[in-house]
Amino acid sequence: MKKFLILAASLVAFATTASAQDAALGVWQTEVDDGAYAHITIAPCGAAVCGVISRTFNADGEYQSENIGKTLVIDMVPQGDGAYEGSVWRPSNNKIYIGKMDVNGNSLRLRGCVAGGLLCSSQNWQRLG
């Protein structure tokens, strides 16, 4: 009986992690930053989720940025209730920040932080698919 309870608890913990990850999976549109915006495809990467730049746009429409294919959302680990923690890369200054992400339905709030997470800059993204 004890082994069964341990197995059941492990399965519940695994299912909770998988469900939390599912909230972020998909294609998201960023806010305009430095005159451009992007579509980010978020998919599983190990026990976390990662987001890769899949398309880029500026005032003239879609263009082929050198950043397509690069990882912007790095190893975001689910914390429960749609919250994630990991790292974020900002292409305009080529720096990686402490990353925090909150997903609520078709909205995603991404934050890049310094000073141990005390000072953050954020963007609100919308789900495309």
* DSSP letters spanning 78-97: EEETTEEEEEEEETTTTEEE
Q: What is the pTM of this model?
A: 0.80
Q: 39 CB contacts (<8 Å, ≥6 apart)?
A: 27, 28, 29, 30, 53, 54, 55, 56, 57, 128
- What does the pLDDT read at residue 71? 98
Confidence of residue 2 (pLDDT cuts 50, 70, 90): very low
Q: Which domain holds residue 28?
A: 2-127
Residue 123 CA to residue 53 CA, distance in Å, equals 15
Report whether 41 contacts 24 (CB < 8 A): no
Is 9 a residue whose pLDDT tops 50?
A: no
Provide the CATH number for the domain around residue 21: 2.40.128.520
Is 3 a residue whose pLDDT tops 60?
A: no
Q: How many domains does the chain have?
A: 1
- What does the pLDDT read at residue 123? 96
Q: Which amino acid is it at 99?
A: G
